[in-house]
Amino acid sequence: MDADQGNTIIHQITSNIQQLNQNVQNLNVYVEKIGGPDDTDTTKDAMAQLVHSSNLVSKSTSTLIKKLVTLSSDNRQFRVQGERLMNDYMGVLNRLQAAQRRAAFKEKAQIKTVTVEDEMLSKQQTERTADDQMRLQIQQQHRVHLNEIKERQQALSQLESDINDVNQIFKDLARIVHDQGEMVDSIESSVEHASIYVEQGHQNVQQALRYQTKARQKKLLLLIFFTALILIFLLFAYLWTR
Domains and CATH numbers, the chain: 3-215 (1.20.58.70)
Q: Report which of 162, 152, 173 is spatially closest to residue 24, judged by C-alpha positions.
A: 162
Q: How confident is the model at residue 152 (pLDDT cuts 50, 70, 90)?
A: confident
**Distance, CA of 149 to CA of 6 (rounded, Å):** 49
Average pLDDT, the chain: 78
Q: Is there a contact between 126 and 195 (Cβ–Cβ < 8 Å)?
A: no
Lowest mean pLDDT among 50-59, 141-150, 188-197: 188-197
**Distance, CA of 163 to CA of 190 (rounded, Å):** 20
Q: How confident is the model at residue 192 (pLDDT cuts 50, 70, 90)?
A: very low
Q: Is there a contact between 163 and 97 (Cβ–Cβ < 8 Å)?
A: yes
Lowest mean pLDDT among 43-57, 107-121, 189-203, 210-224: 189-203
Q: How confident is the model at residue 145 (pLDDT cuts 50, 70, 90)?
A: confident
Q: Is there a contact between 151 and 44 (Cβ–Cβ < 8 Å)?
A: yes
Q: Which residue has the higher pLDDT, 208 or 166?
A: 166
Q: Which residue has the higher pLDDT, 132 or 33?
A: 33
**Distance, CA of 46 to CA of 24 (rounded, Å):** 13
**Distance, CA of 106 to CA of 113 (rounded, Å):** 10
The DSSP symbol for 195 reads: -
Q: Report which of 102, 139, 8 is spatially closest to residue 64, judged by C-alpha positions.
A: 8
Q: How confident is the model at residue 170 (pLDDT cuts 50, 70, 90)?
A: confident
